[in-house]
Amino acid sequence: MSSRPKVLLARRIFPDIVARLAEHFELEEPLDDQPLPQPELIRRLAGKAGLFATGTELIDQTLLAACPELRAVCLMTVGHNNVDLAACSAHGVRVTNAPDVLTETTADFGFALMLAAARRITEAEHYLRAGRWGQWTVDLLAGADVHGTTLGVLGMGRIGQAIARRGALGFGMQVIYHNRSRLDAELEAPLGAQWVAQDELLRRADHLIIVLPYTPAAHHLIGARELALMKPSATLTHLARGGVVDDAALAEALAAGRLAAAGLDVFEGEPAVNPALLALSNVVLTPHIASASVPTRRAMCNLAVDNLIALLSGAEPLTPLNLGKT
């Protein structure tokens, strides 16, 4: 019998990284690439010390009580709203996520989405592919400028700061931001970034980008009242987590012309998307792929593996989310 710790891999990942896991652990691989419903996850976790997880497995009190041998849950995502950290700590289960390795890639994508919304890029492509391009007109698919405008960043963590750098240093934007805590002056200064209250951020931003983590307190942080504060010429780009924005209220604002355009990578109840959003042409929709470059997805997976190796050999992980006995 193998003396290596038993680990469950929740979803399909890159074959060479599976091989890396298999070198260190007695590995159970996924049968297919579907999210595991919790009863099935519990069944497959029986006797396992570790779980290689993504953002879709629900790790809560029920699962922890049913899986007493579990010691380590290592997420390949930075977001961890699928994990009850307090319950994990109470059960002595260590949890890690994958910050930093996805920051620049996610910021690139946020900027791309913002540019696409402002400059109507997907709308223009659909127009062309549909054979509607007849002749040049002076205002054909004319959108908003991004350079030299005011960038509003809601959530100034690592990804928010990387987006602010792109805006300030690459596009000559004035950066305003709202965050629970202000950045240190030495981080603000090179970007000329100014902390403002949330309502002021919404009123002043030409392009708002939302990158804060989901918590119950952030549920529908941006709803009808907040959207009504924004300029009708503004765009909203959302990379955070479904539920931070009230998608129905956003669709209403976009349909009524109270907001010019939106770029959305995350949705309430995803992979379902509110049909009212699907019906609009002034919104760019992508399926939660902000961190999905091949090198970055590989780095996220490898960091989760590094954390599993550390935890299951009694060492400190690289990127812990909680403290506790290992």
The footprint of ligand DGY (CB under 6 A) covers: 55, 77-79, 102, 291
CB of 267 to ligand DGY, least distance (A): 12
Kindly tell me which of 77 and 326 has the beta carbon lying closer to ligand DGY.
77
Pick the catalytic residue from 44, 241, 268, 297: 241
Taking the complex as a whole, the smallest distance from the CB of residue 138 to ligand DGY amounts, in Å, to 40
Instruction: For residue 122, give both structure tokens.
Output: 């997907």
CA distance 247 to 80: 21
Exposed / middle / buried, residue 197 (Cβ in 10 Å: 0-12, 13-18, 19+) = exposed
Contact 225, 107 (CB under 8 A): no
The closest residue (CB) to ligand DGY is: 79
Distance from C-alpha of 67 to C-alpha of 297, rounded to nearest angstrom = 28
Whether 207 is catalytic is no
* Interacting residues of 258 by C-beta distance below 8 A, sequence separation 6+: 227, 228, 230, 232, 252
Question: Is 8 in contact with 59 (CB distance < 8 Å)?
Answer: no
Q: Which is nearer to ligand DGY, 182 or 298 (CB)?
A: 298
273: tokens are 């998307």
Label residue 284 left, alpha or beta by phi (over 0 means left) and psi (-120 to 50 means alpha): beta
- Toward ligand DGY, which CB reaches closer, 206 or 247? 247
Indicate if 241 belongs to the active site: yes
Closest approach of ligand DGY to the CB of residue 158, in Å: 12
Whose Cβ is closer to ligand DGY: residue 77's or residue 179's?
A: 77
Q: Is 188 marked active-site?
A: no
Smallest gap from residue 301 Cβ to ligand DGY (A): 11
Tell the smallest beta-carbon distance from residue 121 to ligand DGY (Å).
22
Q: Is the separation of the CB atoms in 189 and 206 below 8 Å?
A: no
Contact 229, 223 (CB under 8 A): no
Pick the closer one to ligand DGY by CB: 291 or 326.
Answer: 291
Given 104, 165, 270, 298, the catalytic residue: 270
Contact call for residues 194 and 167 (beta carbons, < 8 A): no
Shortest Å, Cβ 297 to ligand DGY: 9
Closest to ligand DGY by CB, 222 or 259: 222
Report in angstroms the alpha-carbon separations of 56 from 156, 217, 250.
25, 20, 25
Residues tagged active-site: 241, 270, 288
